[in-house]
Structure 1
Amino acid sequence: MHKPLIATSLLTAAALTLTGCASDTASSTDATGSGSWPESITISLVPSTEGENLAEALDPLTTYLSENLGIEVNGVVATDYAATVEALGADQAQVIITDAGSLYQAINQHDAKLILRDVRFGATDYASVAYTNNPDKYCDDEPVMATYAANGEELSYCNGIETAAEAAAGQGPAAEDALKKIDEGTAVALQAATSPAGYQYPVVAMQAAGIDTDNGIKQVPVEGNNNAVLAVYNGDAEVSFGFWDARSTVLEEAPDVAEKVVAFSYTEMIPNGGVAVTQDLPEDLVAQLAELMDGYAQSSAEAETVMFDLVGLSDWTAETESEQIDRYGEILKQFQN
């Protein structure tokens, strides 16, 4: 799945435990969140890179924030997304950069405030794509080629979900009725049950199409979006699901993937993650923090590199569209024991 992630340069591997990271406050805030600013704040997040890249990824951002806010901004690496929520709940972090599910949990469990959403290629959300190696069965028309703007590659789509010779939009839901053609016993590659694009949204869409996802299909477990595409490419499954457009992840090893793997349906849109803060931070600090982070990608060429190359984001936006997070929470509940 797509990761709204940043790595840290400020803490060593020992920081993975999220200990000792609460902020030192200059004075307490009142119940409205207004008052004196703390001397420091801590951002909790999950790294997208390993090794030496950790030292490069977050330092420009925390330095930028520290210099412009006039307080110390620290970073701590969380072991997983759930740990960011735990850190915020324990006041070991006052700011979290995390995925949509964890944003929902932080908002509902700890009264966190959603201040920014992750932006990739101009969008705050994305569809899960249904892929097949059997277009004669799943496509009502001839597949067409459209341009995937992220890398300029021409990829194949059918059922009118994209327009020939134009830039693909990746907007769902689209052609969900085509999922009804997944008949009993069909091999369907699905990712881990925690994956929104590789499992959760596809299962919801298939069930809405009348498919018994527990007993009516042959589930083929795969790890990662690339392997979901390759399962169809190699014939291990007739249908698979992954983020839009996961075929771009296998172009090097499968340069003819657009010929062999056709996108035939989009689920409803899945929200990107974003940034949330504790309610205890002063309102004017939160406003300045949000404004600075919103403008970070445009602040320098280095910042753009951090956001895009190391983080996988092109921007943050203050247009939070919180209803998308609420909808994701509804879907998430269906997969929680």
Structure 2
Amino acid sequence: MRIFKRLATIASALLLVTVLAACGKSSSSSSSSSYTPKKLTVQFVPSSNANTIEAKAKPLEGLLKKQLGIPVKVSVSTDYNTIVEAMGSKKVDVGFLPPDAYVLAHKEYGSKVILQAERYGYKQPNDQETNKLVKTYKSQILVRKNSGIKTIQDLKGKKIAVQDTTSTAGWIYPIVELYNHGVNINKNNISTVQVKGHDQGVMAVYNGTADAAFVFEGARVLVQKDAKDVMKKVVPIYTTKGIPNDTITVRKDMSSKWDKKIAKAFKEIAKTKKGHEIISSVYSHEGYVDAKDSNFNVIRNYDKTAKKIDK
């Protein structure tokens, strides 16, 4: 009889442990994606002049507040890494992340992509915008027309204006495709200078402070008002393969309910006249479509090669 009592006691104890463990798992799981914002913080990255972007993006605060029913704070980060870290430390709820920055944010902090931007495509010469909406864009290598630089091989020994090392169009894609053509950014006597914004990359070439620049296709349009002859003086010598468009990404613990609310809000805002004007002027976005993490596996493949180059 004692043996049966002891077995019953042990069984009860094991059952209690199992129940507690299950409760612990349930609590952990729910807390990992149960954040409900009382005030939404949205941050952009400086693809061009940071002050200009902030001024253009600020009106989104009112439009998002109207859609979501809570206060919204819009700001611009100093660079790509800053916004990734801010989302990881839960200081920023929503980030407009380029694809490589998203991949990093997802890997390091579990940040979730909810939307991907649509843009009009470009055709050459002179970065002419097409009327076709696309979910990818391209990077270009620009040089001065009279520089004598005609091919990727001619970049050896030259000075190149680049973006942050997590910038897809301003670093990752160009260095990988250079590498695939036999030119190593770190081993062929190439010097680099980091500039903030693709417009600054174009101007570095235009003003002669750099021999070449890595920028997204269409970046020359950003400076056309100030440098009216930029299309004649600054020309592409190489265009990369397609890159997935920018993301709208949320922090890891954002609840699924708010994932959907935020996604719906941005889609609806993009359809309004005022909202469309804002997203178009900031990043040339025309609208947003649902996105999933696997859309960015191509970026992960480029990242692997980039790491080899940096060794």
**SS in structure 1 of the partner of residue 134 of structure 2:** coil
Are 2:190 and 1:190 aligned?
no
Displacement after TM superposition at 1:51 (Å) = 10
Distance in structure 1 (CA, Å) of the matches to 2:52 and 2:281? 14
Aligned to 2:41: 43
Q: Which residue identity does 2:254 align to in structure 1?
A: L
Displacement after TM superposition at 1:266 (Å) = 0.8
Deviations 1:66-98 (A, max 9, x none): 24xxxx253353643434333433344443333
Distance in structure 1 (CA, Å) of the matches to 2:185 and 2:227? 29
| Match of residue 224, structure 2, among 220, 245, 251 | 251
Q: Which residue identity does 1:58 align to in structure 2?
A: L
Distance in structure 1 (CA, Å) of the matches to 2:256 and 2:212? 48
Aligned to 1:84: 83
Structure with the higher helix share, 1 or 2: 2
Distance in structure 1 (CA, Å) of the matches to 2:72 and 2:232? 48
Q: Which residue identity does 1:303 align to in structure 2?
A: G
Displacement after TM superposition at 1:284 (Å) = 3.4
Aligned to 1:219: 191
Aligned to 1:109: 108
Are 2:263 and 1:290 aligned?
yes
Distance in structure 2 (CA, Å) of the matches to 1:235 and 1:51? 25
Displacement after TM superposition at 1:254 (Å) = 4.0
**SS in structure 1 of the partner of residue 263 of structure 2:** helix
**SS in structure 2 of the partner of residue 322 of structure 1:** helix
**TM-score, normalised to structure 2's length?**
0.66
Displacement after TM superposition at 1:35 (Å) = 9.7
**CA 1:96–1:336: 2 relative to 1, 3 Å:** farther
**TM-score, normalised to structure 1's length?**
0.62
Displacement after TM superposition at 1:307 (Å) = 1.7
Contact preservation (8 Å) 1:126, 1:272: yes
| Match of residue 123, structure 1, among 114, 117, 134 | 134
What percent of counterpart residues are identical?
A: 23
**SS in structure 2 of the partner of residue 295 of structure 1:** helix
Contact preservation (8 Å) 2:58, 2:75: no
Aligned to 1:307: 279
Displacement after TM superposition at 1:315 (Å) = 1.9
Contact preservation (8 Å) 2:173, 2:302: no
Contact preservation (8 Å) 2:137, 2:216: yes
Aligned length: 264
Distance in structure 1 (CA, Å) of the matches to 2:301 and 2:219? 23
Contact preservation (8 Å) 2:98, 2:168: no
Distance in structure 2 (CA, Å) of the matches to 1:241 and 1:55? 25
Contact preservation (8 Å) 1:99, 1:272: yes
Taking the TM superposition and a 5 Å limit, the aligned residue runs for 1:45-194 are: 45-46=43-44, 48-49=50-51, 53=55, 56-67=58-69, 72-75=70-73, 77=75, 79-80=77-78, 81-121=80-120, 122-132=133-143, 133=145, 138=150, 178-179=151-152, 181-182=153-154, 184-185=156-157, 187-194=158-165
Structure of higher CA gyration radius: 2
Tell me, which stretches of 5 or more residues in structure 2 are unaligned? 1-25, 121-132
Aligned to 2:241: 268
Q: Which residue identity does 1:245 align to in structure 2?
A: G
Distance in structure 1 (CA, Å) of the matches to 2:185 and 2:84? 31
Q: Which residue identity does 1:291 align to in structure 2?
A: K
Aligned to 2:16: none
Aligned to 1:322: 296
Aligned to 1:31: 29
Contact preservation (8 Å) 2:172, 2:302: no
Superposition RMSD in Å: 3.9
Is 252-261 or 104-113 further displaced after alignment? 252-261
**CA 1:296–1:107: 2 relative to 1, 3 Å:** same
Aligned to 1:10: none
Tell me, which stretches of 5 or more residues in structure 1 are unaligned? 1-27, 139-177
Displacement after TM superposition at 1:236 (Å) = 6.1
**CA 1:129–1:73: 2 relative to 1, 3 Å:** same
